[in-house]
Amino acid sequence: MTASTRSSGALASARTFVSHFKPWPTAIAAAALVVACGGGSDGGGFFPFLGGATTAGVVTGSYYRNAKVCIDANNNGRCDAGEASTTTDANGAFTLAGQGAVVAEIGTGSKRFDPDTGVESAVTRALVFRAPAGANGVVNAISTELAALMDANGGNLAAARTALAARLGVSESQLLADHNKVGDAKVKTALQTEIDQSLERIAEAVAEAGSGGDIVAALRNRFALDDITNVVVIYAENRGFDNLYGLYPGANGIPGVNPSSSTSTAEPQKDFDGATLPNLPPVWTGVTASGQTTVIEQGKTVGMPNRMFQIDDPKGFYNTGTVVSQSIITRDLVHRFYNNQMQINGGKNDKFTAYSDAGGLSMGYYDGSKMKLWDLAKQYTLADNFFMGAFGGSFLNHQYLVCACAPLYPNADADSSPAKATISAIDTDANGNFVRLTPADNAPSSVLVGAPTYKNDNTLTPKDAAGNFYAVNTMQPPYQPSNNAPAANDATHHYADTTKSNTLPPQTQATIGDLLTAKGLNWAWYGGAWNSTTAIAEGDRKFPAAVPPAAQTPNFQFHHQPFNYYAAFDPVQHPDARAAHLKDFDADFLKDAANGTLPAVSFYKPQGNLNQHAGYASVADGDAHIADVIAKLKASPQWKHMLVVVTYDENGGFYDHARVPKADRWGPGTRIPALIVSDFAKKGFVDKTQYDTASTLRFITHRWSLPVLPGLVERDKALVKNGLPAMGDLTSALDFSKKS
């Protein structure tokens, strides 16, 4: 007798049984019918003697113990009252009365057991796994993804199974297997990687849906990523979130000014000794960068109130009556690895002016509603809980964008090392944790007297417990174009002078580029003015005198090209890889966008005068340029399946009030703006999911099922250890339900 025959017979018996007991409560009568159809409660049901088909399986990833499992009779992704349910045993196994789609609800009372190591760990974030009726023997993140793909394709299990197996590089039978028992190490790794990468998306979907929301839709959105075939990351410069979007409606903006701020007041700024400042320090050396007709001298900025203020106030800057429009370039502000940590001050954000070389300017913000990008944010998604991946400046955050790591400088303390003098002097606590940069002997006693000075705030960290030195402030690439000229005996002009203390040795850590290449996916880093600057650097003209100086267009920034630090792109040893992946904006990006030939992943770095960096670029010029780039992308044949992320490398020394999540030794740092622009982006949405710079890497990794970079694992483990959620992967900003 088949299961369906047994179920039909049981159903008839149940109907007869119930007809004789009409006075019974309706709920009990209904339960009898469910049991007869294969359902039940806690695996047994009210009437086990009725018999019926069963469903047996295992909840994996590794194995989940004490998870609630049920037959999802109404296909809503939840274990509802009246649906047959049970809990998994020590091996993650279950047996249910009945057949159909299965749901596993894994709460914080469940445990995850790894059979390879014998380690049991706590579940810290609630999960929900789904499995379609035709593939419910193994319930895990992969079966959940399979169910989500079926939701999107009209319920076609075969098509979903074929597509997912092909994407992961496994057979369809392996896709549905218990990966813990797969003998092929490569296949097992592929399945485990997909499971591990999917867990965060599932946790986010569960949190978003809450106790009564549409969990099926939330999961579907997070697994519909195949609809995106191109990711473009536009990486601007040096703006905190409050600095540009602090007035944005619905965003966590300027305290006491934006009614949707998370707090009514910001923490007053403190002096070096922790005393509240009576007023902000002067803007040292004046407000505006040199060479402009608008000038506000330092003396005009004395006595500014200890609070945030609008730089482009139409009434004028402070009491000067001089309007600093968004077309005017302000002076630069210090933005370095250790300084940023001291400014954050354990999360209070109350020493931005104390540890700034620009004094009170660090507390300034703009009326961002004047920007074109503000209008784009209103059309798409603005993320208001997005943090720079690493503490400090542009150099380290560009590295973090591509590798989620800090560059290494081997043996920096050796007598023969040119970098020996570049090791920073820091003060630590009894446990060796960073406290502050060591003040100079003649450092001012108060920031109201002068900007802070240090014994040695340089490029490298002191040696750590493992004997490593890391480059955390600006160093120059070992390959041209570099701000360090070639050595005198370098006839090729391809290399930077390695005797210079700030030339970084070639890096070999894994990058997102390596992972994409290994997967057979094309990618490119497009740099503004890359070709013209490279031609100067490698040409016959004297270098670096011919390179445009900082005050001139295009003001190419050598340390903004992270892949040019990697041995994989050595211009002599690997010219083909270099030509394939390091490209020019004007010659390559614009053509590829217009022709619909952009690679799967593109990074675009605007040239200096268009990147919004204080000190040499205005807010207005960069805003207009980036908006124009997005307009060109929207006209591309690839637009309908494109995701564009516009974000910033770091805060540029500007204050932001949002509390920074505490994670690992590298970051994250201060909050920065991020826009998610796509036909799949939620419209007019403020996304409050916790993100950082490497969330773009998480998205790319999840979309193409790539191995996880070690830095991403380290960051999320540190966050969870501190009781915080792991960083999101941008999928909370997306909605695939209305795709064309």
pLDDT tens-digit map of 331-376: 999 999 999 999 999 999 999 999 999 999 999 999 999 999 999 9
What is the rounded average pLDDT of the residues 556-561? 96
Q: Is a pLDDT exceeding 50 seen at residue 47? A: no
φ/ψ region of 46 (left if φ > 0, alpha if ψ in -120 to 50, else beta) reads alpha
**What is the C-alpha separation between 370 and 214, in angstroms, rounded?**
37
φ/ψ region of 371 (left if φ > 0, alpha if ψ in -120 to 50, else beta) reads beta
Are 658 and 669 contacting, i.e. CB atoms less than 8 angstroms apart? no
What percent of the chain clears pLDDT 70, i.e. is strictly above it? 91
* pLDDT at position 537: 84
Q: Which helix or strand (DSSP H or E) is residue 381 part of?
A: strand 381-383
**What is the C-alpha separation between 710 and 707, in angstroms, rounded?**
9
DSSP classification of residue 106:
E
Q: Which helix or strand (DSSP H or E) is residue 643 part of?
A: strand 642-648
The tokens for 192 are 């485990």
**What is the C-alpha separation between 713 and 210, in angstroms, rounded?**
26
Q: Is a pLDDT exceeding 90 seen at residue 543? A: no
Segment among 192-206, 394-408, 620-634 with least mean pLDDT: 192-206
The tokens for 53 are 């088909």
* pLDDT at position 41: 34
Neighbours of 25 (CB within 10 A): 8
Segment among 2-6, 548-552, 662-666 with least mean pLDDT: 2-6
DSSP string over 672-711? --EEEESTTBPTTEEE-S-EETTHHHHHHHHHTTPPPPHH
CB under 8 Å to 339, separation ≥6 — which residues? 355, 356, 392, 437, 457, 653
**What is the C-alpha separation between 554 and 491, in angstroms, rounded?**
27
What is the rounded average pLDDT of the residues 49-62? 82
Are 496 and 538 contacting, i.e. CB atoms less than 8 angstroms apart? no
Segment among 192-206, 302-316, 549-563, 569-583 with least mean pLDDT: 549-563
**What is the C-alpha separation between 652 and 238, in angstroms, rounded?**
4
Beta strands at 386-387 and 691-692: parallel, antiparallel or unpaired: parallel
Instruction: Give all strands (DSSP E) within 448-506, no chain letters.
Output: none
Q: Which residue has the higher pLDDT, 740 or 75?
A: 75
* pLDDT at position 236: 98
Please provide the distance, in angstroms rounded to a whole number, between the alpha carbons at the two ends of the chain.
Answer: 46
Q: How many residues would you count in the chain?
A: 740
Chain mean position to CA 629:
22
C-alpha distance from residue 292 to each of 211, 360, 647 (Å): 58, 21, 28
What percent of the chain clears pLDDT 90, i.e. is strictly above it? 82
* pLDDT at position 492: 82
Q: What is the pTM of this model?
A: 0.86
CB under 8 Å to 631, separation ≥6 — which residues? none
**What is the C-alpha separation between 557 and 594, in angstroms, rounded?**
26
Q: Is a pLDDT exceeding 70 seen at residue 36? A: no
Q: Which helix or strand (DSSP H or E) is residue 637 part of?
A: none
502: exposed, middle or buried (Cβ count in 10 Å: 0-12, 13-18, 19+): buried
What is the rounded average pLDDT of the residues 468-487? 95
* pLDDT at position 539: 75
Beta strands at 674-677 and 642-648: parallel, antiparallel or unpaired: antiparallel
What is the rounded average pLDDT of the residues 474-484? 96
The string of pLDDT tens digits covering residues 182-241 is: 999 999 999 998 998 888 889 989 988 998 899 999 998 888 888 999 999 999 999 999
Chain mean position to CA 1:
54
**What is the C-alpha separation between 510 and 498, in angstroms, rounded?**
23
**What is the C-alpha separation between 573 and 84, in angstroms, rounded?**
63
What is the rounded average pLDDT of the residues 697-726? 93
What is the rounded average pLDDT of the residues 87-114? 96
* pLDDT at position 548: 52
Q: Which amino acid is at 350?
A: D
The string of pLDDT tens digits covering residues 142-169 is: 999 999 999 888 899 999 999 999 989 9
CB under 8 Å to 575, separation ≥6 — which residues? none
Q: Which residue has the higher pLDDT, 315 or 552?
A: 315
Are 469 and 423 contacting, i.e. CB atoms less than 8 angstroms apart? yes
- Which residues in 700-730 are b (16+ Cβ under 10 Å) and which e? bbbbbbbbbbebbebbbebbeeeeebbbbbb
* pLDDT at position 544: 52
Mean pLDDT, the chain, rounded, equals 90
- Closest by CA position to 589, among listed 526, 645, 641: 526
Any idea of the CA torsion for 128, 159, 519, 141, to the nearest 10 degrees? Answer: 10
The string of pLDDT tens digits covering residues 123-146 is: 988 999 999 999 999 999 999 999
* pLDDT at position 670: 98
C-alpha distance from residue 709 to each of 157, 244, 502, 670, 692 (Å): 32, 31, 27, 22, 15
Are 384 and 688 contacting, i.e. CB atoms less than 8 angstroms apart? yes
- Closest by CA position to 408, among listed 506, 510, 340: 506
- The β-bridge partners of 112 are 64, 121
